[in-house]
Amino acid sequence: MATGAIALQFVDSEMKISRKILKFTEPLTYRRGWRRAQRSLFRVPLAPMLAHIDRERAREIQQRYMNSTAGYAKYANIEPWLQLNRERVQDLNLHRSSPKRVLDLGCGGGFFLFILKNLGHSVLGLDVERVPLFGELLELFEVPRLVYRINAFEPLPDLGEKLDWITAFSVNFNLYHPSKERWGTAEWDFLLHDLQARLAPGGKIFFGLNPLYNGGYHTPEIRDLFLSRGADVERERIFFENGVRL
Ligand SMILES: C[S@@+](CC[C@H](N)C(=O)[O-])C[C@H]1O[C@@H](n2cnc3c(N)ncnc32)[C@H](O)[C@@H]1O
């Protein structure tokens, strides 16, 4: 190989290395990498949790939905969803936490709360009663659910006790029906005030947002609202570690 070509190759690989270093030092890439590393160092074992459920019933549910074309039928195969939710639990450090009271908005089949319950937390899901499969999974997991539809500008019902955590993953209660238009800042701010009123001192709120049609997760206005209310905003991850700043 000619000397010039070697020099060029060297410059090219040097650039690749510095790009990698730069990527690693970018906060978002760094945080994601750190979470991945943490998860792979220690994974909360699921087998002891699965030993508590009726495996025969789980198989029956899975088989019944195997050929279903419904979008939600994918949740009938529970293991991948439990693995995903184990990551959610670990990313929030709830596997290393003393027992907390956790409310999960739009809890779906209850995968996240099932893991938390097995880790000693006290859990309650909140969801509409639209998808029978979710009801079957919640029953299988013995996760309690409050049937309730979150509507813009309407406070949640009285839950009887203060909460340490309020979570919501793959959020879509912020869609108007049937237009599928998304909530604006006023709707979100109403919900944030309402949720804060339900938190115990030191309580935390976490939202995992669904992507918008343009691939982003929030408009600049909603991002600014979350930030001004004290959230840490990392793409789809909105975390009010110290509750909502009012
Ligand atoms: C994409 S699923 C996510 C389920 C679960 N959080 C998960 O990540 O596996 C969204 C959930 O939000 C619920 N949901 C949608 N609109 C809602 C509303 N207005 N009030 C309460 N739950 C709602 C749906 O029924 C569904 O269970």
Each residue's pLDDT, cut to its tens digit, for the chain (246 residues) gives 455 555 555 445 554 555 555 555 567 888 889 899 888 889 999 999 999 999 999 999 999 999 999 999 999 999 999 999 999 999 999 999 999 999 999 999 999 999 999 999 999 999 999 999 999 999 999 999 999 999 999 999 999 999 999 999 999 999 999 998 999 999 999 999 999 999 999 999 999 999 988 889 999 999 999 999 999 999 999 999 999 999
Say whether both 35 and 57 belong to one domain: no
Instruction: Label the pairing between strands 145-147 and 163-171.
Output: unpaired
127 lines ligand 1 (CB under 6 A): yes
Say whether both 132 and 202 belong to one domain: yes
- Quickly count helices (H) and strands (E) in the chain: 9, 7
Q: Which two tokens stand for residue 174?
A: 């912020």
Per the domain annotation, does 245 fall within a domain? no
173 lines ligand 1 (CB under 6 A): yes
Per the domain annotation, does 246 fall within a domain? no
Q: What order do you get walking across the sheet with 122-127 strand by strand? A: 145-147, 122-127, 101-105, 163-171, 199-209, 237-240, 232-234
For residue 123, list its beta bridge partners.
102
CATH value at residue 186: 3.40.50.150
pLDDT at position 10 is: 47
172 lines ligand 1 (CB under 6 A): yes
Say whether both 37 and 155 belong to one domain: no
For residue 210, the ligand 1 atom closest to its alpha carbon is 1
pLDDT at position 11 is: 47
Say whether both 30 and 138 belong to one domain: no
Say whether both 22 and 71 belong to one domain: no
Say whether both 149 and 220 belong to one domain: yes
Range of the domain at 11: 1-41
pLDDT at position 24 is: 53
Say whether both 8 and 94 belong to one domain: no
Output the CA 41–ligand 1 centroid distance in Å.
31
pLDDT at position 148 is: 98
pLDDT at position 20 is: 58
Q: Where are the alpha helices (DSSP H) in the chain?
A: 3-25, 27-41, 47-50, 55-65, 78-91, 111-118, 132-141, 185-197, 220-228
